[in-house]
Chain A
Amino acid sequence: MMKIASFVRPLLLCSCLAISCQPATPSEELVIWAAGREGELLSRLLPEFEVSHPNVHVHAQQVPWLSAHEKLLTAAVAHRGPDLAQLGNTWIPEFATIDALEPLDDELSASTSVVPDDYFPGSWESNEFEGRSYGVPWYVDTRLLFFRRDLLSRAGFERPPRTWAEWLEMLRALQEQGRSHSGRPASPAALFLRLDEPELLLALGLQQAPLLRDGDRYGNFRSVEFRGALDYYLSLAQVALLDAEASSQIANLWDEFARGAFVFFISGPWQLGELARRLPPEREDSWDTAQLPGRDGPGASLALGASLVIFKGSQHKRAAWQLIEYLSRPDVQRRFHELSGDLPPRRSSWEGSELASERGAAAFRAQLEQLRRIPAVPEWSRISSAITVIEERAARGALAASAAAEELDRRTDRILEKRRWILERRSMLEQRSGPSHSRAVGALP
């Protein structure tokens, strides 16, 4: 079988060439790596692109989310990366540092369809590193409040909280009521908070001040601003922990939310689809979303999400850019939203679509105008895991707030030690040879 096949194939190929069935233009094979569900759904958008670009064939490779970072990084180090990829926007500084990504500034200034001003600013900025753009946002992700409108109004609050003080007041009132009804199993907890996820603390902190200081050389966690956010976060955690017994037994968030086990929780856009799908019909209208509260009014949240990037080693950069332009078209983004539920990063993709009127989407639309990016240093993932550990210990009372802030700075400064050395060395080299030889160093103060 095998033998015949391998014998016949060259023959077929020869005859094929002889009858001249080769395409008019040389065909290009474009490889794109995309993670998880997006990777699966991407292939449904590709046929249309291939029709309008007959000489380009796109091969979409699906990578599991859990190992996407490691696979992409290893491929980049080995110079065996794909032509383009879906990259978590917080990874961009890391990949740009090892020179794996193609800067897209030239393409962007020439492009008529990818318009930076049309993108939500925080999301767009998250693709910049040291003064250059390395990616185009594909979809945005952020965190905000999900709450049970009916339970909140039963407690006497007709609208969701807008400020820190309002939110805490509501939580305490809810808790007070829960306690007076104690013994009734249905009395809801005020807030379900996952202490092993640092996103809420990061968002609250970023509302106040940058998380790193002096050109991202040191942690800024002992600053008055961050301490304010930390103290507030710890008081939220206290509320959540009073009902810890309830929240540690939460096996299925949606079931418990529908049952009324808690009023508030913090999550991201994927919950819109999950809640629409999983909540029983009688609870359909009972929930809503709200922008993250700020100190004096709706506050900023994190600019998360994924971007499309071109790898430096790609031989097909023009075709890769064409694919990015295609995937960034508002109509294609709307279709992608229908398939995946992911939120489009462009304002024009939201306009004139039913997206904004979907249940819970309005608060996201408002939140997207107020996004802050995570610090643009390649060490961020390590800093973030240090924050997770310390934040959880502080929330559980094993560490006082001041000690936690100190420990955060200590660990962050240690992780950033190499960065400080490199920046120092770079500025020394610049002084010696003049700034003209150096790379664009936007991060330098």
Chain B
Amino acid sequence: MSSTRAGWWFVTPALLAIALFFLLPVLGGFGLSLTDFDIYTLADVHHLRFVGLRNYARLLDTPLFWRALANTAFFVVAGVPASIATSLASALLLHSRLARWSKVFRTALFAPVVTTLVAVAVIWMCLLHTRYGMINYALSLVGVPRIDWLGDPHWAMPAIALFAVWKNFGYNMVIFLAALQAIPGDLYEAARIDGATPAQQLRFVTLPSLAPTLLLVSLLTVAGYFQLFAEPYVMTQGGPLQSTTSVLYLMYEDGFQAWNLGSATAVAFVLFFLLLLLTRLQVALARRWSAA
């Protein structure tokens, strides 16, 4: 009994910090999303009204919100599998016993993660330049006509997804690498004795051992990719034709350009609930998959 109490005493500081710096702001934010806090409120607090769930109802009635949601969903659906596949492939290559200079490559591939996003985004804008960019030059060598990457509504989001994958895959790669190194070597030895080909070893030893890591990585990546903001902010400002306006970018525009903090926080909470739902769905799917 007393040990339980002692336990509570030990976690109290952490709980207090969480309550003060997380729970309280979140509750405050939720309260804000039920008001019509806007530029008039900045002028005079008496202009604040409680509007209940009207911000949420209006949001669902705003075409741009659905557009932003579709843009974000496209980014997640295109970006997350590509990102995880790239991370896994590069981790497997680095982990291979045949790999030379693996430490150098590990550092090089991880480097984009630790560089400043804005700086590399500017470099990528040069790479993606329609006329002078290296990507279009490389494509022209194999006969692909010029693509206006950031200026064409059809290509802007794919271009941003490409950039995001390049920027982020190193992080998951390091996680995969650690998980790969933790797989006991005797599993592979046993598989080899049973006559398993390298492909079978990957399918029946490596991937099942990585399953918990895969789940973790996919949860983190989906959550991260849903919060797309800085890339379109720097590279396209949500354009062209709102094709790269993400949910978070919409929130930023509403909140910090028009100062409609009430409806902007409503966007934030909608995004939060969406992420919560998706995460639960992923966990449920992973359970069923591992049980089967």
Interface, chain A (partner B; CB < 8 A):
66, 69-70, 73-74, 77, 94, 97-99, 196, 378, 381-382, 389, 414, 418-419, 421-422
Per the bound structure, the CA–CA distance linking A381 and B257 in Å amounts to 10
Q: Which of B39, B257, B258 contacts A97 (CB 8 A)?
A: B39
Contacts of B36 in A (CB 8 A): 418
Interface contact tally, CB-CB below 8 A:
35
B272 at the interface (CB under 8 A from A): no
Across the interface, do B257 and A94 meet the contact criterion of CB distance under 8 Å? no
Contacts of B237 in A (CB 8 A): 66
Given A97-B43, A418-B38; A74-B256 close (CB under 8 Å): yes
Contacts of A97 in B (CB 8 A): 39-40, 43
Chain B interface size, under 10 / 10 to 19 / 20 to 34 / 35 or more: 10 to 19
Across the interface, do B257 and A378 meet the contact criterion of CB distance under 8 Å? no
Across the interface, do B38 and A70 meet the contact criterion of CB distance under 8 Å? no
Q: Most chain-A CB neighbours within 10 Å: which of B49, B237, B259?
A: B259
Q: Which residue of A lies closest to B240 (CB)?
A: A196
Q: How far is the CB of A41 from chain B (nearest CB, A)?
A: 24
Given A66-B237, A196-B241, A422-B47; A378-B256 close (CB under 8 Å): no
Contacts of A378 in B (CB 8 A): 39-40
Q: How far is the CB of B65 from chain A (nearest CB, A)?
A: 13
Chain A's interface: helix, strand, loop or mixed, by majority? helix
Contacts of A98 in B (CB 8 A): 39, 42-43
Q: Which of A66, A73, A196 contacts B259 (CB 8 A)?
A: A73
Q: Which residue of B lies closest to A421 (CB)?
A: B49
Per the bound structure, the CA–CA distance linking A73 and B42 in Å amounts to 11
Q: List 17 A-B contacts (CB under 8 A).
A: A70-B256, A73-B256, A74-B256, A77-B259, A94-B39, A97-B40, A98-B39, A98-B43, A378-B39, A381-B257, A382-B258, A389-B63, A414-B58, A418-B38, A418-B40, A419-B40, A421-B49
14 more contacts with CB within 8 A, not counting A196-B241, A381-B258, A418-B36, are A66-B237, A69-B257, A77-B259, A94-B39, A97-B40, A97-B43, A381-B257, A389-B63, A389-B64, A418-B40, A418-B47, A419-B40, A422-B40, A422-B47
Given A196-B241, A422-B47; A70-B257 close (CB under 8 Å): yes
Q: How far is the CB of B178 from chain A (nearest CB, A)?
A: 40
Q: Which residue of B lies closest to A93 (CB)?
A: B39
Q: How far is the CB of A228 from chain B (nearest CB, A)?
A: 27
Within 8 A of A (CB), among B26-42: 36, 38-40, 42
Contacts of A418 in B (CB 8 A): 36, 38, 40, 47
